[in-house]
């Protein structure tokens, strides 16, 4: 697979409303989009740092993976997302062939209209890994 850059860092927060003042007023970043991704049961807020985005993730339901992550003591960086130049479907096939555990066996629609798929942290040195394609 060909990774062009880090597309975004996903950061789990209890509340986007409570987290945004830190990112905007202290770090001086600007939130340019807030979007709910219904099938993932999350609300997302995006900020840009150069070409890389920060995706704040807030659970919209107690059974959201973000709610469970926070409940289990998780905080801060939740996943890293790579922009794949030659397609997520390609990358998934390659990962599967190399014995990587896939969370998504096919690309699906994520925030900002991207095609996304996740790799299981058990196969990725502990970091939940998202593959993205425009």
Report how far residue 112's alpha carbon sits from residue 26's, in angstroms, rounded to the nearest whole number: 25
Q: With binding defined as CB under 5 A, does residue 107 bind Zn ion?
A: no
Instruction: Give the one residue of 54, 66, 70, 81 binding Zn ion; rule: CB under 5 A.
Output: 81
Report how far residue 9's alpha carbon sits from residue 36's, in angstroms, rounded to the nearest whole number: 17
Minimum separation from the CB atom of position 17 to Zn ion (A): 20
Give me the 46-65 binding string for Zn ion, x by CB under 5 A, dash otherwise. ---------x----------
Instruction: Give the one residue of 10, 64, 84, 129 binding Zn ion; rule: CB under 5 A.
Output: 10
Cα 52–chain centre separation? 12
Beta strands in 50-128 (DSSP E): 52-59, 76-84, 108-109, 115-119
* Residue 10 or 107 with smaller CB distance to Zn ion: 10
**DSSP 8-state assignment for residue 73:** T
* Residue 55 or 133 with smaller CB distance to Zn ion: 55
Contact positions vs Zn ion (CB under 5 A): 10, 55, 81, 130
């Amino acid at each position: 697979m060909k990774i062009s850059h880090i597309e975004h860092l996903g950061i789990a927060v209890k509340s986007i409303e409570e987290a945004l003042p830190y990112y905007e007023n202290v770090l001086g970043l600007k939130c340019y989009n807030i979007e709910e991704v219904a099938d993932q049961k999350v609300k997302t807020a995006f900020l840009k740092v150069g070409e890389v985005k920060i995706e704040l993730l807030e659970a919209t339901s107690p059974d959201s993976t973000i709610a469970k992550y926070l409940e289990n003591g998780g905080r801060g960086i939740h996943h890293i997302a790579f922009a794949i130049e030659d397609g997520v479907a390609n990358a998934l096939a390659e990962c599967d062939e190399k014995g990587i555990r896939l969370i998504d066996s096919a690309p699906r629609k994520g925030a900002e209209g991207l095609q996304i798929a996740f790799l299981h942290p058990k196969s990725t040195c502990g970091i939940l890994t998202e593959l993205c394609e425009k």
